[in-house]
């Protein structure tokens, strides 16, 4: 996109600020943001948020490497890990709460939100399951490894399938916001 998508404006906030504000509103307390060292502008846009920031020194690495780095910073008491990508800024706080609640009801299962039968993000992984990234698996590998440990949660939130990968995606999200 030629510009860090986390810093794109959505209304009066940046994309990443939408994500973080919704996580906080959902009551999620242990929030870890993984950035590369060169993302000081993004770090600046997150000031005054109750998050812990860690850095991936190899920004060209797979997302699983950022997950590994983030996992090292989580509270030991965490039972699950909600992997929320910053390119899904319209996921509502209510949806995030629903995903967490479903995790509490089915603690050993991977929770994947569905909007009109389409898989979305963020996914919530039990802590013991997501630790499989330490043996070289990607998140996709973990999800595909055993379909019996996946639970789908129907949500009425199109934000779970709206991501920003292209300029057209961004324009579509701006239109959805009105």
pLDDT digits (tens, 9 = 90+) for 96-143: 999 999 999 999 999 999 999 999 999 999 998 999 999 989 999 999
For residue 110, what pLDDT is reported? 97
Confidence of residue 60 (pLDDT cuts 50, 70, 90): confident
Residue 1 has pLDDT above 90, yes or no: no
Q: Name the percent of the chain lying above pLDDT 90.
A: 80
The CATH T-level fold of domain 5-177 is Spore Coat Polysaccharide Biosynthesis Protein SpsA; Chain A (3.90.550)
The pairing of strands 80-83 and 13-14 is unpaired
C-alpha pair distances (Å), 71 with each of 126, 150, 178: 12, 20, 36
Two tokens, residue 164? 């920003």
Confidence of residue 148 (pLDDT cuts 50, 70, 90): very high
Backbone phi and psi for residue 56, each to the nearest 5 degrees, phi listed first: -95, 115
Contact 88, 99 (CB under 8 A): no
Residue 36 has pLDDT above 90, yes or no: no
Two tokens, residue 109? 């299962």
Q: Report whether the peptide linkage leading into residue 75 is cis, meaning its omega lies within 30 degrees of zero.
A: no
For residue 38, what pLDDT is reported? 67
């Amino acid at each position: 996109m030629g510009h860090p998508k986390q810093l794109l404006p959505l209304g009066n906030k940046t994309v990443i600020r939408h994500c973080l504000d919704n996580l906080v509103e959902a009551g999620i307390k242990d929030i870890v943001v993984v950035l590369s060292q060169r993302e000081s502008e993004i770090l600046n846009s997150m000031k005054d948020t109750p998050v812990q920031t860690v850095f991936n020194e190899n920004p060209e690495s797979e997302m699983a490497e950022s997950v590994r780095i983030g996992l090292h910073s989580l509270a030991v008491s965490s039972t699950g890990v909600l992997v929320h990508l910053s390119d899904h800024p319209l996921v509502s706080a209510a949806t995030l709460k629903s995903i967490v609640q479903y995790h509490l009801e089915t603690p050993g299962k991977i929770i994947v939100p569905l909007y009109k039968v389409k898989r979305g993000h963020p996914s919530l992984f039990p802590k013991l399951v997501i630790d499989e990234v330490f043996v070289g698996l990607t998140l996709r590998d973990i999800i595909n490894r055993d379909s019996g440990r996946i639970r789908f949660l129907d949500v009425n939130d199109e934000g779970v399938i709206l991501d920003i990968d292209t300029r057209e995606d961004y324009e579509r999200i701006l239109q959805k916001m009105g």
